[in-house]
Amino acid sequence: MAECNGAAHNHGMKTLIAFSLLTTAALGQSVESLYQKHCSHCHGVKFQGGNAQSLIDGVWQFGDSTGHISRNIKFGITHLGMPGYENTLTDKQIRSLVDYLKDAEKSAGAVKPPIPATLQTLDYHIQVETFAKDLDMPWDIAFLNKDTALITERSGQLRVYADGQLYSKPVEGTPEVVSEGQGGLLAVAFDPDYLEEGNQWIYLAYSHELDPQPNGKRTPAMTRIVRGRIDGNSWTNQQVIFEAPHDTYRTTRHHYGTRIVFDKEKNLYFSIGDRGTGAHAQDPAKPNGKIHRIQRDGSIPSDNPYRRTKGAVKSIFTLGNRNPQGLSFHPVTDELWASEHGPLGGDEINLISKGRNYGWPIITYGRNYNGSIITELTHQEGMEQPIWYWNPSTAVCGIDFYSGDLFPKWNNKLLVGALKYEDVRVLSIEDHRVVHEEVILKNAGRVRDVCCGPDGAVYVVLNDPGTILKLTPQKK
C-alpha cells in the first residue's frame, strides 16, 4: 500500500494537525499525539500501514462508517490482535480520532479500489463480471431460469432481467412500501410450480404501513407477504397471504427480516426481525422475532408448532430470532439454515428446527451498541446454540447453499454475505459444524445477498454500488 508524500501531503498534514489542536485542546493532548501513541506502531506514523493495514488507501476492512470505526477502536478486533481502547480513551477522544483518520484519508486523495476483474481462492481462479448495475439499493434476486430473474430494490421497485438485459422500467403496480430505515421492498421468489399452467405466482415480502396516523405520528408498519402475477410489465391478481394483526405493528423502521424459501413439500418460509423490541421475540402472540411457515395460499400447515396455541400467531415456526436476513435449504438434507444479525457481536448461523427457541434476547454472544451488557447468558436450557457465530459482527446477510457444476468443490457449502465487512465467505460444514471458512470476495461493496444461479454461477448483490456481480470460473 503506497505511502502518500510530497507537498500536497505536507500541506494536508499541517491542516490536519492544526485542526486537531483546535478541536481537542480540552482533551489535554492533540489528536495527532493520540494517534502516534496508540495507533502508529501498527498503522504507520503517516497512516501508511505496517503490522496492520494502511488507513489512507480507501479500504476499510471492518466497516467504513463513523460508527463502525468508532466501535472498532473502542471494543477492538481482538481475534486479529487489535485491542479495545474503551478503558484507555474517552468517547470524545475516539470520535476525534475517527475524524482525524477520515480527514487524513481525504487529504491523501484515497479512492476505494475498483471491483476486481478476477479473484483467486483456494480452489478456483474466478472471473468477475457485472450482471446488472445502476440499481437502487438492490435487496434480493430470484431466478426463474438461467435467462430470467427478478430483482427487488429496497425503495420499492421490482425489476425484470431477461434475455441478457435489465429492463429499464420497473414492474408497474407493485405494492406500496415503507421505504424508510431498513424497510422497503425486500424478498422475491417464484412459486415452485411457476411453469405449470395456471400458476405463474410470484411472492413478495415488504414493509407494510397502516393508514396514516393523526397529529403527524409515525405510522405503524410490519413485514407483509403477498403473491401476484406479472402480465406484460404490470403486477396483477395480488393476494395477501400473510398480514400480522394490526395491533402488533410497530412504529420502528428496522429489523423487518426477511427472505422467502420453499421446502420440498412446497411450504413457504419467511422471517420477521424483532422490529427493535427484543422481548417480543419470546412472545408467541407477536409475529416479530420469528421464522414463519405457511402454505402457498397463506393457510397454516397442520403441524405448525403454535397452530393450536391460544393467542399465538399460528404461522410461527421458530422464535427467539433477532433479525434473520438469510434463509437457505440444504440441497441434500433439506434442512433449513438461517443467518441472523446480532447486536454488537453475535452474528449467527443457525440450523432451524420446528418449534425451537433461538434465545434472543435471553442469550446472546453480543452486547448493546454502546457496549453495555444485554445479558450475562450465552447458554440456557431449552434454547438453541448457533452452529457458528462472529464476534465482532460482520453484519451477516443473505446465504445460499451452493449446488452446481461450475464450482463442484463448493457443492453443499454455504455461501455467506456480509454488509459491514463487505465480503462473501464459503463455509464448509460437516455434521452440523463449520470446519472451514474462506473469504472469496472483499471490499467490492456491502453484500446484501449471495446466491447460486441455475447456471451454477455465484451471484452477489451489492449495495453501494447498486450492482449485481456474476462469479464464474476463469477461462483458461
**Selected residue with higher pLDDT from 28 and 4:** 28
**Selected residue with higher pLDDT from 320 and 22:** 320
pTM above 0.85, yes or no: yes
Task: Determine the Cα–Cα distance for residues 287 and 281; give it in Å rounded to an integer.
Answer: 8
Task: Determine the Cα–Cα distance for residues 82 and 75; give it in Å rounded to an integer.
Answer: 9
Considering Cα of 259, then 472, then 445, then 389, what sign does the dihedral take?
positive
Pairing of strands 347-352, 388-390: antiparallel
For 396-433, the DSSP string reads: EEEEEE--SSSSGGGTTPEEEEETTTTEEEEEEEETTE
For 279-315, the DSSP string reads: GGGG-TT--SSEEEEE-TTSPPPTT-TTTTSTTS-TT
- Domain 7-107 sits in CATH at 1.10.760.10
Q: Which DSSP category does 246 fall into?
A: G
Fold matches, 7-107 and 118-473: no
Classify domain 118-473 at the CATH class level: mainly beta
- Give catalytic status of residue 255 as yes or no: yes
Task: Determine the Cα–Cα distance for residues 152 and 179; give it in Å rounded to an integer.
Answer: 12
Burial 381-419 (b: 16+ CB within 10 A, else e): eebbebbbbbbbbbbbbbbbbbbbebbeebeebbbbbbb
Check residue 422 and give its pLDDT.
97
The three cell numbers locating residue 252: 420502528
**What does the domain layout of the chain look like in residue ranges?**
7-107, 118-473
Give the pLDDT band of residue 212 (cuts 50, 70, 90).
confident
**Selected residue with higher pLDDT from 217 and 19:** 217
Task: Determine the Cα–Cα distance for residues 130 and 271; give it in Å rounded to an integer.
Answer: 29
Residue 36 to residues 32, 33, 41, 61, 121: CA-CA distances in angstroms?
A: 6, 5, 7, 21, 36
User: Average pLDDT over the chain, rounded to whole?
Assistant: 93
Task: Determine the Cα–Cα distance for residues 323 and 205; give it in Å rounded to an integer.
Answer: 15
Catalytic residue among 43, 68, 208, 255: 255
pLDDT in tens, 101-146: 999 999 999 999 999 999 999 999 999 999 999 999 999 999 999 9
- pLDDT mean over 158-180: 96
Give the pLDDT band of residue 441 (cuts 50, 70, 90).
very high
Share of the chain above pLDDT 70, in %: 94
Check residue 214 and give its pLDDT.
75
Grid cell 508524500 is found at 5
Indicate whether 24 pLDDT > 60.
no
- pLDDT mean over 46-54: 93
Check residue 400 and give its pLDDT.
98
The three cell numbers locating residue 409: 468443490
**Selected residue with higher pLDDT from 187 and 20:** 187
pLDDT in tens, 316-345: 999 999 999 999 999 999 999 999 999 999
